[in-house]
Chain A
């Protein structure tokens, strides 16, 4: 009867569940571990002269 509509319903259901499945991770923000890592990487890079700069 409503074959097409049902298929779309299934797709929507799946997408809603997919969003929910990853929602917690997305809402967690950036854990300290990565904040610290980024700071370290940035600091290391800022200290290093660019590759092109041959002394």
Chain B
């Protein structure tokens, strides 16, 4: 079995938790605050964590719950103008793919939070539908259809629907798909 103390394992999930938090908050500073809230909550609830079950999904669920409860509070306190949040995701400077990436971030930020979380868990973090469904507290079928709808919506926003795909050149596609992660 794995290490006896699941607290030791938490650390390895922090990068993915930060990524998930960024997709939810669309702001790197709020995202890290959210991760901090979630970690504090996780530590004070470790007695409720069942050893041998999925720690990652448990942590992601806590983070998600923190996000939704903070959000309810924030909405009560002040309306946050959508415009200030859009585009707050860090744009990766990348010679060839820069424009596409900036467009991608802008389009992603326009999606509903449900769609953003589905795409982040499945598409970006590579979770299985089952695990993502567990994290979000929905049925696997719901997670699948949510992800499909989110992909379609994002494709439409970026004009990557079937006709649109034909309009971007092979070179552009290659730039997006094959951009090397490290220069």
Residues of A in contact with B (beta carbons under 8 Å apart): 3, 6-7, 9-31, 33-35, 37-38, 41-42, 45, 50-51
Contacts and interface: CB of A to CB of B under 8 A. Distances in A.
Contacts of A6: 162, 165-166
Contacts of A19: 123-124
B165 A37 contact: no
Contacts of A17: 100-101, 104, 176
26 contacts: A10-B155, A10-B160, A10-B161, A10-B165, A11-B151, A14-B151, A14-B154, A16-B176, A16-B177, A17-B100, A17-B176, A18-B120, A19-B123, A20-B179, A21-B89, A21-B92, A21-B124, A22-B22, A25-B18, A25-B19, A25-B22, A26-B19, A29-B15, A31-B32, A34-B36, A41-B7
Contacts of B63: none
Q: How large is the interface on B (under 10, 10 to 19, 20 to 34, 35 or more residues)?
A: 35 or more
Interface in B113-159: 119-120, 123-125, 151, 154-155
Given A25-B19, A30-B11, A18 B162 contact: no
A13 B97 CA distance: 12
B119 A34 contact: no
